Amino acid sequence: MKPSPAANLDVRVERPRPPPVHPHRPGSLRARPYYRRWTPWIVAAIALSCVVVFLVSMYVNDCPRRNSGDCAAGFLGRFAFQPLKENPLLGPSSATLLKMGALDVTKVVHGHQGWRLITCIWLHAGVVHLLINMLCLLFIGIRLEQEFGFVRIGLVYLISGLGGSLMSALFIRSSISVGASGALFGLIGSMLSELITNWSLYANKVAALLTLVFVIVVNLALGILPRVDNFAHIGGLISGFLLGFVMFIRPQFAWINQRRVAPGQQPAPVKRKHKTYQYILWLAAAIMLIVGFTVAIVLLLRGYNANDHCSWCHYLSCVPTKRWKCNSSPTYCTVMQQANTLNLTCEGTNVHRSYLIADATQDKINQLCNQLCS
């Protein structure tokens, strides 16, 4: 994803002229910026956490031991990557990601492992995936955290990530999902709603709006490529858009001015902190968030498959062309061990293959099944 230029927009501030400061009057009023500027740290901590989790997943993966040396960048030893034909993003196997907490609908619904809706946000499929997401997080998140603080940015990131996971789980039933893209789209969506709810505080607002919309459309369009979970992007974007109305509402300048009256000056008529439309947007967004998340969680736990009620929705995540296919076949295999021969049949493609392996471990079977089905 590309960082939005709108992240660099500044609030138009019309500072009142301060009264003269007298050296013998310690109570003299000084001019201060309208809005507090925060020192960013939560975004950097999130990025560092994702890097650490990726390193741990590579350590657990241990490609040389599980693949008999057929690994990419074998000089890295235990941290070597899976063969490129299995994972072109330079990362671990699907079996390792599943073990580390990747989103798998079957395990969430039937295995009661709802924690995967959160843990999948911290996992990444490879170095390429991790690098793109963390660069976008730093470009977008640091400026937002400077404006709104670590609490609000942290909540928007986590809740948007959860929203992306829920949307993904309702539509993608046959493969696992990992990545922070849903949370990142949530930050972009919150920027859009922040611009709308604080419309009167910005200069060049139309240009900023068009820029943000363009960035969102381009990034969603990239999501129709294969192996990209665009449903997580859409769910995160919608969640972040609604959260921006709730989390990023700013007081009006007139309300701040009346609190900065110097001693001896006549106070101005009392102004409201927020405009009416801001309250309306706040209330509507809060209701939609609560209702939306509640309905999504209930449907997911009941095993609801959204594709059964929307025959065209799968095109939102992948559009087949002459150059690629959208393979949604499940990566499950029928296993038969006969002496020193392991027979696997992919249930989604009915492809069969035999391997000269005696007493194959479950990790080895999962790895071979993933290769066979892909």
Return the active site residues: 181, 233
Q: How far is CA 94 from the centre of its chain?
A: 20
Find where tokens 């893209």 sit.
Answer: 181
Bridge partners, residue 354, by sequence = 343
Residues 99 and 113: beta-carbon distance below 8 Å: no
DSSP string, 124-165: -SSHHHHHHHHHHHHHHHHHHHHHH-HHHHHHHHHHHHHHHH
Q: What is the largest CA-CA distance in the chain?
A: 96
Chain length of the chain: 374
CA distances from 318 to 106, 216, 328 (A): 21, 17, 10
The Cα–Cα gap between 87 and 292 comes to: 34
Alpha-carbon distance 170 to 367, whole Å? Answer: 25
As given in the structure block, the two tokens for residue 111 are: 């295995």
Q: Three-state SS for 346?
A: strand
What count of Cα atoms within 13 Å lies in the side-chain half-sphere of residue 107? Answer: 16
Distance in angstroms (rounded) separating the CA atoms of residues 34 and 322? 55
Q: With the C-alpha atoms ordered 347, 353, 358, 361, is the resulting torsion angle positive or negative?
A: negative
Residue 146 CA to its chain's centroid (Å) = 20
CA distances from 205 to 144, 148, 209, 365 (A): 17, 19, 6, 56
Strands 352-355 and 341-346: antiparallel
